[in-house]
Amino acid sequence: MGSYLSVKPPGLTHTVRFSASLPRVHRKFLSPSSSTCGSRALPYAAHRYNVTTKAAGDDGDVSQASALSASQMKEIFSGRFPSNYEGDVIVLNGLSSREYHRIVDGFWASLKRDEKPSGHLVLSANFTTASILRALPGPIHEALNVSIGNSVLGALKNAVKDDTSELFDLRTNSRVPSASKTVMKVPDILINHSTFSKDYETLSDQPVFICEVGFREAGPQLEESIEGWFKAYPQVKTAFLIKFDEKPRFYTKPAFAQLPEYVLSEPGKYCESAYKISGESGQFLQLHGVNFVGRVTGYLEVWKRDPDGKKVARSGERILFYDSYEKVGPLPKLEFDVSEFIELSDKSRGGKVEINWEEWHRLVVLGRGRLAKLRLVETLKKHHPHFKKAEKKGDSLSQSKEEGG
């Protein structure tokens, strides 16, 4: 979900890189049958790139070959992570100036859209490589967004309840560009503080709280993200870093191979119906007897800026607050004075922000169940012939329109 990327993201176990065997001249992303992508045409002799995916599994590295289709590259050029791509990270090497600008333009344009971001873009120092990380928040991310946002927002609003010159608003997965010219970032949770004159003229409008929630991202990436936001917004005094881990990693192909016949015979029905957990098997959460979610753990880190505003560091110990397989605890009582988030005025009433661990636990349990259903739908739509035929037909119609057919 919101995070900094690097061309070789530290701690990520999943990388994707284009093959270097193709000639550098006229290297393009589309299959030979497609000469257009988006609103601008690409050179006629376009190549279809082979992509190698490497993921560190329990039994070592697992590699598989795949390729980006015309529709997938069209999504990238429009500032989106390809919706039907199996991996989480795409690295495009050896970009031409034109290709680079098309991708950058697409992601900058995406900052103006109201929809939640599906991917984040990071460019290499020499601007020839683009890295794109899947960023659409999942159910586990979203499970905590409301609880965290409302607890902090509620305390801040209460602190200035009688002061009409101040306003706080909550934004989740908002399109807020970072200070970096090579990273297009989106925070998972942001609370903005606005002040007004007596005539309601805006005097200031700035973030005062950031929370980064990671699931696929590695811990070091999230730390870079937090440090980046502190640097970009000197008004932020306290931030939360939440990291979830899942073991083993989920893959759609093995799950599809294990689905029972009654699901495969009516895929549309089971995509649309409400999910019902069929059981827990060891560390796994199952639907229709198939493992869809593994063991999930989650920890919280509190990050703070020192009083002189020069240094940023983790405050206190990392707190493991969730484990789907083993009971955690006892958890410490964790509360903050509102002065740890904002500078209090003479009119401020003060107050406390308290973390409700029990609510967090219930929300993550709910999010884990929703993640299982989401993965069932993703698995069916990605591998079932019924949906693959529909997707192929849609791609053909789209290509026909682009070619003027």
The gap from C-alpha 316 to its chain's centroid, in whole angstroms, comes to: 26
Whole-number pLDDT of residue 32: 29
Mean of the pLDDT values across residues 369-389? 88
Mean of the pLDDT values across residues 265-279? 80
Percent of the chain at pLDDT above 70?
69
Mean of the pLDDT values across residues 367-385? 91
**267-271, 280-284, 332-336, 347-351: which is most confident:** 332-336
Whole-number pLDDT of residue 49: 38
Which residue, among 219, 211, 67, has the nearest Cα to 153 in the 3D structure? Answer: 211
* Residue 199 scores a pLDDT above 80: no
Whole-number pLDDT of residue 328: 92
**Is residue 236 very low, low, confident or very high in pLDDT (cuts 50, 70, 90)?**
very high
Half-sphere exposure of 91 (CA within 13 A, CB side): 19
Whole-number pLDDT of residue 26: 26
Mean of the pLDDT values across residues 355-374? 92
pTM recorded for the entire structure: 0.71
| Domain spans in the chain, listed from the N-terminal domain onward | 14-136, 139-250+294-355, 253-293+374-405
Which residue, among 257, 245, 256, 247, has the nearest Cα to 283 in the 3D structure? Answer: 247
Of 166-180, 271-285, 342-356, the range with the lowest mean pLDDT is 166-180
* Residue 218 scores a pLDDT above 60: yes
* Residue 184 scores a pLDDT above 80: no
* Residue 392 scores a pLDDT above 60: no
Strand partners, 279: 286
Whole-number pLDDT of residue 176: 54
**Exposure letters 93-129 (e unless 16+ CB within 10 A, then b):** bebeeebbebbbebbeebeeeeeebbbbbbbbeeeeb
Mean of the pLDDT values across residues 81-96? 77
101 vs 55: CA distance, rounded Å: 30
Whole-number pLDDT of residue 14: 37
